[in-house]
Structure 1
Amino acid sequence: MRYLTYVHDGGTRCGVAVDETVYALDAPALRDFLGWAPSERDAAVSRALRGPGVPLPEVRLLPPLEPPTIRDFVAFEEHVEGVRKSVDGVSGVPDRWYEAPTFYFTNPHSLVATGDDVPMAPGSAVLDFELEVAVVIGKAGRDLTPEQAHDHIFGYTLFNDWSARDLQSLEMKVGLGPCKGKDFASTLGPWIVPAADLDPYRDSDGFLGLALTAEVNGKVIGRDLLSNMAWPFEDLIAYASRGAELRPGDVLASGTCGNGGCLAELWGRTGTPDPPPLTPGDRITLTAEALGTLTNHIVPGAEPVPIPRARPRTRTRP
């Protein structure tokens, strides 16, 4: 079973897909559905499956939900090694990375769906993809232990936080982390797979051993296993919930996988921009075993609105 949001006959619905058939849920949106009690959700699914279905190829997929927040972690050591060298010119992994699963907040209003065009970020000429898996929270919680966090997971989905590497490299010199280099687009989807459906993929350490593949214009660029994460998702959730409430619909992404999960990692390892940055016309296909595939085409973006440099000030005081 997969949970999704879709357009059919001019209307937008949330629903469940079984095999190649989509059934509409009687919920305003999937985010509302996640806020219901588990028994209410189960009853809604039962009602949906008794109703008429629509062939999956006849619907247009949207991002599966509108999350209230998106936290994006950096949980793959191999990715940190390569991208740090590419973006900052520094080798190795910072000691601090090993101490806690660091994350940043990204823009929940810039989501695009699989099949959508992705415009170049204004002012950028160095576009990159990032292959990630994300967890969707299904129950509110605060100050959770990793053991408790497991019961707060509703399901899993694919995530691609597109990166304008030239903008990112410049703005991170200020020391606040990425902003416009990440702000313009993220792909989420194509649907959410319930957590229980992935239990057969767990290894003896509790990690999900899903195969991950990244392709550009039909050529495989990267392959990895989700189980190469340094922390399982339960640890990420527990850390995010320290002193902060997680709510149904919140999305927590793994961070980019290694071994070619993005172009910048490869650039850092080889010292050359090969494969080259993405440009209009490129097609990017990201796949995770048991979760599905995201495909997007790159198109030209808008010209940046000019912003003046900072004004020199006298710093006079009243």
Structure 2
Amino acid sequence: MRFATLPQGAVVLSEDGAHPLPMPLDELIALGLPRALEVGSAALLDPSTPYAEADLLLPYKPPAVRDFVTFESHVEGVRRSVDNASGVPAAWYDAPTFYFTNPHALYGPGAAIPRPATCRALDFELEVGVVLGSGGSSLSVTEAADAIFGYTIVNDWSARDLQSREMQVGLGPAKGKDFATSIGPWIVTADELPSLDLLCRVSVNGVPVGSDRLSHMHWSFAEMIAYASRDSVVVPGDLLASGTTGGGGCLAELWGRAGAQVPPPLEPGDVVTMEVEGIGTLTGSVA
């Protein structure tokens, strides 16, 4: 099923249109996937109303957003442009590393994001996010797989000039990342995607920039969830992003390989379109 949020509230989408749900998506997600599918199936029996993709809002507000780095080629390319380093750190192979980003600076499909005032190297990051339908602590990989509710597209907007400077302190990205994350266009439930060998593509102003397959992740989503929960806690609704795909899933990877900012950084008015097979299309622009 595809669960979304429109101005009138949470809906389940069908070929006929949008069918209202009896609760917001965060409450539906907290029920867990089996119960949510029952609620969605009941809603599909009710009359639908037409909707336009321009009406889609941020699907829901996750209580926490963890962003991982699971594509080897992305690490190699971005390190050259952001860290002025080469290769992949040996520690990267030890575990699916992540950082927490800002759950209060989220944007829905079609929304324009603000460029940080001093940023002149604005970038996008093409990612897929997994939404949890249950939580726990120190989950096994099997338990983590059972906790998956569904998937959505994530654009981790990045101020590369700010990021490059602040990461010299050694605490990871902060102001280079915390200003905007786009999520959408909806949540596709896990039962709809038995295989995650999905084609991921991104374009800027209609010009293709990069593509990769989600199956090139070095770790599975279940392994990411299990690692995040180790000696800690994850809760229903938590969003865990795959990290940027390779093959030009962000401009910084291409800058690192070219030794120059080609293609150029994003400017106000630019439109970034991300497409993930089986999930949908997420569009965002620079305000």
Q: Same fold (TM over 0.5)?
A: yes
For 1:193, what is the secondary structure of its paired residue?
A: strand
Say if 1:20 and 1:56, in contact at 8 Å, map to a contact too: no
For 2:285, what is the secondary structure of its paired residue?
A: strand
Alignment pair present for 1:212 and 2:200: yes
Give the structure 2 partner of residue 19 of structure 1: 15
| Counterpart selection for 1:243 from 215, 231, 234 | 231
Structure 2 unmatched ranges of 5 or more: none
1:122 Cα deviation after fit:
2.1
| Counterpart selection for 2:279 from 291, 297, 300 | 291
Matches within 5 A, 1:51-66: 51-57=46-52, 60-66=55-61
1:142/1:279 CA distance change after superposition, 3 Å: same
Give the structure 2 partner of residue 275 of structure 1: 263
Distance 1:20 1:296 in 2: 26
Say if 1:17 and 1:56, in contact at 8 Å, map to a contact too: no
Alignment pair present for 1:44 and 2:48: no
Which amino acid in 2 is paired with 1:47?
A
Give the structure 2 partner of residue 178 of structure 1: 173
CA RMSD for the aligned pairs?
1.3
1:216 Cα deviation after fit:
0.6
Alignment pair present for 1:5 and 2:1: no
| Counterpart selection for 1:136 from 124, 131, 143 | 131
Which amino acid in 1 is paired with 2:13?
A
Which amino acid in 2 is paired with 1:165?
R
Say if 2:70 and 2:244, in contact at 8 Å, map to a contact too: yes
Say if 2:136 and 2:235, in contact at 8 Å, map to a contact too: yes
Alignment pair present for 1:222 and 2:210: yes
Give the structure 1 partner of residue 148 of structure 2: 153
Distance 2:13 2:105 in 1: 25
Which amino acid in 2 is paired with 1:4?
A
Alignment pair present for 1:193 and 2:176: no
Distance 1:84 1:58 in 2: 36
Give the structure 1 partner of residue 110 of structure 2: 115
Normalising by structure 1, report the TM-score. Answer: 0.88
Which amino acid in 2 is paired with 1:272?
A
| Counterpart selection for 1:86 from 81, 87, 92 | 81
Distance 1:187 1:37 in 2: 24
- Equivalent pairs: percent with the same residue? 53
**Is the deviation greater in 32-41 or in 277-286?**
32-41
Say if 1:216 and 1:282, in contact at 8 Å, map to a contact too: yes
1:97/1:292 CA distance change after superposition, 3 Å: same
Give the structure 1 partner of residue 28 of structure 2: 33
Which amino acid in 2 is paired with 1:2?
R
Normalising by structure 2, report the TM-score. Answer: 0.97
1:297 Cα deviation after fit:
1.6
Distance 2:3 2:44 in 1: 12
Q: Deviations over 1:120-179 (max 9, x none)?
A: 112111100000001000012221111221110000100011000011011111111111
Give the structure 2 partner of residue 308 of structure 1: none
1:52/1:144 CA distance change after superposition, 3 Å: same
1:43 Cα deviation after fit:
3.8
How many pairs align?
287
Which amino acid in 2 is paired with 1:140?
G
1:46 Cα deviation after fit:
3.2
Say if 1:130 and 1:256, in contact at 8 Å, map to a contact too: yes
For 2:266, what is the secondary structure of its paired residue?
A: coil
Larger Rg: 1
For 1:160, what is the secondary structure of its paired residue?
A: strand
Distance 2:202 2:151 in 1: 18
1:254 Cα deviation after fit:
0.3
